[in-house]
A and B are shown apart, each in its own frame.
Chain A
């Protein structure tokens, strides 16, 4: 009876976007780490859309990068088209999105994992958690091997008890026909973890050679490509890009769908999981928005070395014959050859309110969880949780305080706080409107917000840290100079201003004051600013934004100050809510169930009223005074 027995620091279950970041963070922080995957050829797989970033998701990628994560670097190496969305809007909502070469992306991430010290990759399904007295001590694989560990991070994505469905066809596989993970759910339930069932879906892939692009609008990438990673030299990634294509559904498409709606498992009730509203299937769109005469369809390449095209906007779980007719009704797709059918997928996930803000389970010490398994959706949301779970697993082992980001520091903070505090009924997607302080949480300043923290944690090297300090200083000095440099109201200046459509000066003004004028900017004033030092664009961009939007930024900073006061009031884990007088019953139950870490977090729980928060504050103060007297 000789079983395999290994001793490691951290076990990561799953090698998707969460798992990769989690494992890399742990290994880079010196933890002996093993990452399990059901298929080593599917590391960092993108089973759905072939892009990274987009509105608010681009912010997450930047933040992961600023903390020392891998996603940004990896997409910079493997993208085939890049676009900055919302360029005409304010800097807070500029969002980078890149089309990935999926195979390249996966291969490249695998190389990084393979080349990372302390990190072992293992193709094996994990079957069981080993938990002793609410402390995780190891995991067991389906082969019976035992890995003793000090922490484990669950990153199973959509693989747990996964089922793919279209029409009458239903297969018990993970995405892309990959093997599902069927064993772990039972072990989780045995350990008191509550499991939900969510669903999502993906459209068909169609052979490029069967598509008539002349009937579609071409969607090109940006002329100047902006990298995701703050470490990537923009010059190094300017390259030829491939195009995406835009076409539309029409009344005929909708008719086909309506006629067959009863054959959709989503509508016939064969799928029970809760699906996301933000990426509805095409049948969902047609039913819910019946007044819309057409819907956009984006045709996106899955990579350079493949003929497969992703049909964005038309995910579906209709039967195969309906799918063929439906896709072929779209202009340009009349002769479409479907390579992979569209399908819906159902999977096990958890209610993330079982987690602390550190992403550790409240009831099982040493067990962490990240990614789609936490009820989120999207590669970027997964990566963001992955790096935080990885950092915190390592810190726990080292006996350090958890690393937490709050809602005023990062989109990552908003994401995790929403997941572990609020009630979610569908896979959670990041959106800029979820961030209260989004003017401060821009994608352009993610490094200024987070790279110092990344350095403290140990994921950012000294070189990058010094570079950041220099950038900070340059920004500060240049702003100071502009606030102090006065421009006289001479005729040359008046002519210059009127040539830019700006009104003349009554008396002298500072350069900063001129930059604040809506029609002017830092760059536009170069001609009347002879003292201007040569500075990199990343510095002058910050200078321009910080001066131009100063009034708005100051207001948000004030709001953040108020917010922090409540966040700083921590609630001890030992609190007994039954002893707090005058709490309403609903509030008492919710507080007991979700054990918020601070007054701020408590105030965001549905069912806890401002009066309850007041009561809680008074109680905590009373306890503090009592302890002081003792």
Chain B
């Protein structure tokens, strides 16, 4: 391929265009948050950070984040624990009903989320459970555990189970086998699974909207305030939420790097 001519230029332009399409909505949210009027008009007459000042001082901003973080943490813990066990059962052992398990496992992923959310709310009510952020954890888990299980089980294909027997034969206890062989092999899958679980839970609206009861996760609040009573405060909190989730992800990646260096 020649390095001269219009081809490299066209290729670069194409990539820039794709990136622009991806980031333009996010940039628009940032721009919207810099206004002081509840009517969207562009360019703004007044550019201001007032919305951010208000958001930071507004106790509900941090309440929303806390609830969403609580939910996401619960979902990550639950889906990594169940996903790891499910993936090991699926990938390591050949048992009756294994194929059926795989099909049943991914079924919730295909189910429309608003319907799933309503169904879960009806189930909670029927069971006499009062909706709160805890029921949201369960609702998210229904949808996210299958995904995390699949992500982790990908790591287990091509994993030689004989490694565990070899470790056992070389004098390791069952616990040491898990710590020295199984966990390091699974770890990348568990890490990606945890990231998926966090991000999917953090941004989930359709399940949260039905099952959160009096607790309000961030996306639910954003949705309701966009629909009614819009103000630049809404995009400002959306931007803060994006930054918080980005920091959590960066923190997890940094933690992983630190752990890898420790080994």
A binds B: no
